[in-house]
Amino acid sequence: MPNHFVQFTAKVKHHLEVIYHDILTPSEIEILVPKLQHSIGVTGNDNCHYPTPHKNRWDESDIVMITYGDSIVENTEGVEFGFSQKPLKTLRRFINEYCDSIISHVHILPYFPYSSDDGFSIIDYSIVNQSLGDWKDIEAISKEYGLMTDVVINHCSARSQWFENFSKQEGIGSDYFFTASPDDDLSMVVRPRTSDLLKVVETPNGPKHVWCTFSHDQVDFDFRNPNVLIAFIDIIRLYLDKGTKVFRLDAIAFLWKVPGSPSINLPETHEVVRLLRTLIEHTAPEVIIITETNIPNRENLTYFGNANEAHAIYNFSLPPLLINTLVTGNCAYLKSWMMSMPPAQNGTTYFNFIASHDGVGLRPAEGLLDEQEIAELANCMQNFGGKVSWRKTDNGQQKPYEMNIALIDALKGTIKGPDQYQFQRFICAHAIMLGLEGIPGIYIHSLLGTPNDEEKVKNTGHNRGINRHRWDFAELISELEDKQSLHANVLSALSLLIRIRRSQPAFHPNAVQFTLQLGTEIFGYWRQSIDRKQSIFCISNVTDIEQKVRLSDINLIENSLWHDLIAEKTINQTTEFLCLAPYQTMWISNKATG
């Protein structure tokens, strides 16, 4: 029997030598290795797994629903947290009754006590926010669906016990946070916010200037201190024990800081991701890591490493490019980007999404759309009731960073203005996304067709609140039972698409994908199953007028029967053209499965 533990130990030691090459001595690294192994729970060959390289831990049936623990609540009665039923129980009930056949995984956004940023400023990583429920509620969901949990690893709340100990300069946490001097060269630091980078904190040892990438309530950790690393391995072990199957590494790109550098995507950050991958897969080889890096496309792709970092990366360029395609009626930029994207190696894949709890990031569109086109897109979203969040560049210039808008409203019209095709355009966006190489992630408010929540923006003062509506359960069920309501029609249409997608081998996340050249009004791509038995031609009219596609341009094999899986119709191969209504999608397959 091979001694996997010896190999595991050597890998962990190598990662630590790269990360701490100028910080820890060789003897200190030797001491750190068993501490990390103990924290993750791998202490010998008997409990050390050796992962199969390049193994796909997913298939075409995998669909992730993204939601807050309290996106749906019961009986709030106007009292904050005055729910008659804990929201996690309500969420589970909703999923079981309405989504059981269409999702495999649930990404519950941070479900811990927090002080700001709707959960991403965590006070205590070890307990469930009591307003949502408890660990039993989390475990109940994890037994029925794959649980995706955030590891908010870059920063925590300024109200956490760790940071209070830092302020007092005593106890656990007193040395957990990154400090710099105002005299340091911080001009190159890349950030997604316009607030001051450093926060002055009075301590018994004098004022400290704490690094805050996002806000002054979100204080950044100092991973140069190996005790911070150990603390997070303990957190990951806890989440594994509670049923987590997917880890989302939040804001991971900013993890390692060096004054005088951009302090984003540094080599040490990548090595920390590789270390986390090694530790996790040797204790739980089926668990996957997804990196959340809202950065330009080329930088984002680096988080695959050599199939030894993230199993999956967020496809951040997809949302702005797809929205731009549908509001302009021109798929040239989306098509060009698709052609430039490398196929993911086996054992890695893309995480596709077009809406989330955050806004639509614009940095991932940089270099793909020019500044004028980005400005026009942002202006269009503002015309549809959306907001724009800004960032400050290293020369002090403000640039649009994020568009904050519910997807159903983002697609209520074109650059010409609102029109009658909102529903069709919205379903078209999802049909395009669901067929692409990768695992689809669908935000709960997209499943429900939830519009802009302008009241929440007004009450919270935060632009992102526009797409973080909280549904009353009874009101939602009433809408879903009303077959004439937009919400019922959206859930029905998306459920149909998802059920079709989940039974097509050609939609495996790693199945072959090839971009079709059908002009700028028709966006198309071809997928082929790994066993090469099924092909699907995915074609979408991205305009508000009927379009014709010459059948010979799709190159269907003549001795096969071809079917539109969505319309459940056989393709007449004697015809010269296919006619697509505004925003219609066809999934043309040689196998009539569904």
The pLDDT value given to residue 400: 84
Strand partners, 350: 313
* 544 assigned to some structural domain: yes
CATH number at residue 539: 2.60.40.1180
In the β-sheet with 398-404, what is the strand arrangement from edge to edge?
Answer: 360-361, 398-404, 387-392
Cα angle value 327/332/337 (rounded, 5°): 105
Q: How far is CA 375 from CA 316, 381, 411, 585, in A?
A: 18, 10, 17, 28
The pLDDT value given to residue 57: 96
Q: How far is CA 450 from CA 417, 433, 444, 486, in A?
A: 20, 19, 9, 9
Where helices occur in 482-577 by DSSP H, the ranges are: 486-501, 551-554
Please say if 250 is a catalytic residue: yes
Unique residue bearing structure tokens 């030797």:
30
How many alpha carbons fall within 13 Å on the CB side of residue 15? Answer: 25
CA distance 315 to 352: 5
The H-or-E segment that residue 139 falls in is helix 135-144
| Of 530, 503, 592, residue with least CA distance to 60 | 503
Which of 220, 242, 271 terminates a domain? The answer is 220
Angle between helices 4-19 and 267-281 (to 10 degrees): 160
Rg (CA), the chain: 24
Which of 220, 240, 257 terminates a domain? The answer is 220
The pLDDT value given to residue 79: 44
* 434 assigned to some structural domain: no
* 567 assigned to some structural domain: yes
Q: 206-215, pLDDT tens digit by residue?
A: 999 999 999 9
Known binding residues for substrate: 117, 155, 248-250, 357-358, 464
CATH number at residue 179: 3.90.400.10
* 483 assigned to some structural domain: no
* 306 assigned to some structural domain: no
Spell out, as residue ranges, where the chain has pLDDT lower than 70.
1-2, 76-83, 392-394, 396, 592-594
151 three-class SS: strand
Catalytic: which of 62, 217, 250, 564?
Answer: 250
The torsion angle over the Cα atoms of residues 217, 223, 228 and 233, rounded to 10 degrees, is 110
Cα angle value 52/56/62 (rounded, 5°): 145
Residues in the chain: 594
CA distance 255 to 263: 8
pTM for this structure?
Answer: 0.95
CA 377 centroid distance within chain:
22
The pLDDT value given to residue 2: 65
The pLDDT value given to residue 344: 96
| Cβ–Cβ < 8 Å for 316, 504 | no
* 524 assigned to some structural domain: yes
In the β-sheet with 585-589, what is the strand arrangement from edge to edge?
Answer: 512-515, 522-528, 535-541, 585-589, 563-564, 569-570
Tokens of 586: 């066809």
| Cβ–Cβ < 8 Å for 100, 115 | no
* 58 assigned to some structural domain: no
CA distance 167 to 117: 22
The pLDDT value given to residue 76: 52
Total of domains in the chain? 2
* 37 assigned to some structural domain: no
Which of 220, 240, 260 terminates a domain? The answer is 220
CA distance 319 to 347: 24
The pLDDT value given to residue 224: 98
Strands 146-152 and 105-108: parallel
Tokens of 570: 């056989």
Neighbours of 46 (CB within 10 A): 9
CA distance 594 to 143: 27
Domain that holds residue 524: 512-589
The pLDDT value given to residue 85: 87
Q: End-to-end alpha-carbon separation of the chain, Å?
A: 45
Helix then strand then coil, in percent of the chain rounded to 5, is 35, 20, 45
The pLDDT value given to residue 594: 53
Q: Could you please report the per-residue DSSP string of 433-485?
A: HHHSSSEEEEEHHHHTT----HHHHHHH--GGGGG---EEHHHHHHHHH-TTS
Q: 552-562, pLDDT tens digit by residue?
A: 899 887 777 89
